[in-house]
Amino acid sequence: MPLRDDITHQGIGMTSQRTRERLLERLFEDGIRNLHVLEAMRRTPRHLFVDEALAHRAYEDTALPIGHNQTLSQPYIVARMTELLLAGGPLDKVMEVGTGSGYQTAILAQVVERIFSVERIMPLQERAKAILKEINVRNVVFRHADGNWGWPQYGPYDAILVTAAPPVVPPELLNQLADGGRLVIPVGEHQQVLTLVRRQGDQFIHEAVEPVRFVPLLAGAIHS
């Protein structure tokens, strides 16, 4: 496991082990059953991924701001999306679009082999990189770019996870999905639906999972 125990318990006084265990119970009650996902959620210090002023709320099941008008998803959604990706069996190469704080990346990094993570806002990417390094996550490479275009160089991917919502699924992401691969993505503008797309040859099977609320998937990459 890539997470060092001394790091996963850093600041544990403030964010007590009990609070973290309660979050786990809640995820289980809400239907998260994949033990690898639950274990990753238990080990990962979410408080390191948010502003210090919000650290005391890091183990509530709620979305939190991470600056630049972006938000770290609610733990339930992070767990659910990860579980949906894994439901088809073990994953080698996974592309993530929307690194943000890096929290979802940290969870994913513990349950798949390799991650290719794309983020359009440079300072968010830099910060995520630093925290992931600090907690010893080593199987992630980063790209500063518009994720609407994926990361063709390393594709096709066994799975793709998108954590910002486009109005429709970007065709390039479908192109970069391996045969048998799974794409999990929030889709829509005002009403968004978490969507699972499975590729079978040239067929793409779309399945609506549940209503969600994500920030929009925007165009272009920016430096500040």
Catalytic sites, residue numbers: 73
The yes or no reply on residue 112 touching ligand SAH (CB under 6 A) is: no
Shorter beta-carbon distance to ligand SAH: residue 46 or 199: 46
Minimum gap (Å) between residue 73 Cβ and ligand SAH: 6
Shorter beta-carbon distance to ligand SAH: residue 181 or 186: 186
Distance CA 116, CA 44 (A): 19
205-224: contacts with ligand SAH (CB under 6 A): 215, 217-218
Shorter beta-carbon distance to ligand SAH: residue 101 or 110: 101
Among 15, 34, 44, 71, binds ligand SAH (CB under 6 A): 71
Distance CA 222, CA 125 (A): 11
Query: Cα separations (Å) of 119 from 39, 70, 95, 123, 223?
Result: 26, 12, 11, 10, 11
Q: Which residues 6+ apart lie within 8 Å of 67 measured at CB?
A: 51, 123, 124
Distance CA 185, CA 152 (A): 18
Spatial CA neighbour of 34 closest among 95, 96, 107: 107
Among 15, 34, 44, 104, binds ligand SAH (CB under 6 A): 104
Residue 83 amino acid letter: E
Residues lying near ligand SAH in the complex (CB under 6 A) are found at: 66, 70-73, 97-98, 100-101, 103-104, 118-121, 124, 146-148, 163-164, 215, 217-218
